[in-house]
């Protein structure tokens, strides 16, 4: 699968498909929002999502909706697992539009003093996040993760997080948006090198291991429809390389439904209130299903590593 960006053309400059607020081309953050049942998307995003889902259904592969729903359940379990390790501060990188069970709501269920930084490239995502997820222990940042210093050198981030204490680093369904040429491994290394041993790294990433044909078709669709970012399915070995300098916790690098299903405890009871009396968002969708049950993604590999 090609993993280099196409040569830049006139379309790519200005408000072209690589530009996050462009409404003439499908945008990854808005598509994900649509797949999670959100309203922050345009017709171009909904059509792109439905084209992708129809294509995947035709070849019996899991859809984006499956992956998105499952990803939010996985996020909850991964954050809870990190909280169980004593981690109380989180960098949620490529966090997406505020949606069901956001990281700070999951963390504050255990400890209202937990601190969370949300980072996204999309300025509309960041504006929504700043408006909807504001709080004393939350920072939202509009930044490009391809330049980690935009995050690590940011004053608000450094004021909120104590880099002398362990940090939970979350790249959930984000790194497959970066081309090989952009060196996503170097991006992860920059965050690894900024945190102390005992910090945790959580990744969920599209893989071509199980369904190479679906992986290739999905990538090609993102190129043909000029999605704002590609979807690059990588091999298990390439995904494992993100964990260099970390030791994977049990059960290792597995499909999302196989990752600690016993931690399933979703924030999804309508009318629930958190400790401050605010209603918590409903985590929709079914709990994890084993791949092969008709839903559940066998096109993602995920894991959590602890920094050595
Ligand atoms: C598929 S969404 C995943 C959202 C969220 N992590 C989740 O699992 O629900 C990927 C997000 O990564 C963001 N993103 C893509 N490239 C990025 C970059 N270079 N820097 C920061 N964010 C980026 C997109 O804007 C989008 O919101």
Domain ranges across the chain: 10-257+295-307
* pLDDT at 267 (0 to 100): 74
What is the per-residue pLDDT for 275? Answer: 56
Cα–Cα dist 49/34, whole Å:
8
Q: Whose CA is nearest to atom 14 of ligand 1?
A: 94
Question: Distance, CA 120 to ligand 1 centroid (Å)?
Answer: 6
The binding-site residues of ligand 1, defined as CB within 6 angstroms of any ligand atom, are: 28-29, 32, 71-72, 75, 94-96, 119-122, 125, 144-146, 172-174, 177, 229
If you write DSSP's letter for every residue of 143-209 in order, what string do you get? --TTSTHHHHT-HHHHHH--TTS--EEEEES-GGGS-GGG-HHHHHHHHHHHS-TT-EEEEEEEBSS
Give me the helices (H) in the chain, please: 28-35, 43-58, 64-84, 103-110, 123-132, 149-152, 155-160, 184-194, 212-224, 236-240
Q: What angle do CA 242, 247, 249 make, to 5 degrees?
A: 105
User: What is the pTM for the complete model shown?
Assistant: 0.92
Between the CA of 277 and the centroid of ligand 1 the distance, in Å, is: 30
Residue ranges, the chain, pLDDT below 50: 8-15
pLDDT of residue 292: 56
**By alpha-carbon position, which residue is closest to atom 6 of ligand 1?**
95
Task: Check residue 151 and give its pLDDT.
Answer: 98
Residue nearest ligand 1's atom 11 by CA: 94
* pLDDT at position 152: 98
Q: Are 192 and 245 in contact, with CB atoms under 8 Å apart?
A: yes
Q: What is the pLDDT of residue 273?
A: 60
Give the integer Cα–Cα distance in Å for 129 and 110. Answer: 21
CATH number of 10-257+295-307: 3.40.50.150
pLDDT at 171: 98
What residue owns the CA closest to ligand 1's atom 10?
Answer: 174
């Amino acid at each position: 699968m090609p993993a280099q960006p196409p040569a830049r053309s006139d379309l790519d400059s200005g408000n072209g498909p690589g530009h996050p607020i462009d409404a003439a081309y499908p945008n990854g953050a808005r598509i994900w929002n649509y797949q999670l049942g959100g309203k922050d998307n345009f017709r171009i995003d909904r059509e792109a999502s439905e084209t992708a889902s129809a294509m995947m259904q035709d070849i019996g592969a899991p859809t984006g909706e499956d992956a998105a729903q499952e990803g939010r359940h996985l996020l909850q379990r991964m954050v809870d697992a990190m909280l169980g390790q004593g981690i109380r501060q989180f960098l949620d990188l490529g966090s997406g539009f505020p949606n069901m069970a956001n990281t700070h709501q999951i963390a504050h269920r255990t400890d209202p003093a937990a601190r969370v930084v949300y980072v996204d490239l999309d300025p509309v995502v960041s504006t929504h996040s700043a408006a909807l997820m504001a709080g004393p222990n939350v920072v939202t940042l509009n930044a490009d993760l391809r330049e980690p210093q935009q995050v690590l050198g940011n004053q608000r981030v450094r004021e909120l997080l104590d880099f002398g204490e362990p940090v939970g680093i979350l790249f959930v369904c984000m790194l497959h948006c970066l081309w090989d040429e952009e060196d996503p491994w170097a991006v992860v290394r920059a965050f690894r090198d900024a945190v102390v041993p005992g910090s945790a790294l959580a990744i969920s990433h599209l893989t071509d291991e199980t369904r190479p044909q679906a992986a290739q078709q999905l990538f090609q669709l993102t190129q043909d429809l000029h999605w704002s970012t590609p979807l690059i399915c990588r091999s298990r070995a390439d995904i494992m390389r993100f964990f260099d300098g970390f030791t994977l916790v049990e059960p290792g690098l597995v499909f999302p439904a196989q990752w600690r299903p016993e931690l399933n405890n979703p924030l999804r009871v309508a009318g629930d209130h958190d400790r401050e009396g605010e209603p918590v968002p409903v985590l929709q969708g079914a709990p994890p299903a084993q791949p092969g049950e008709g839903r559940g993604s066998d096109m993602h590999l995920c894991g959590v590593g602890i920094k050595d």
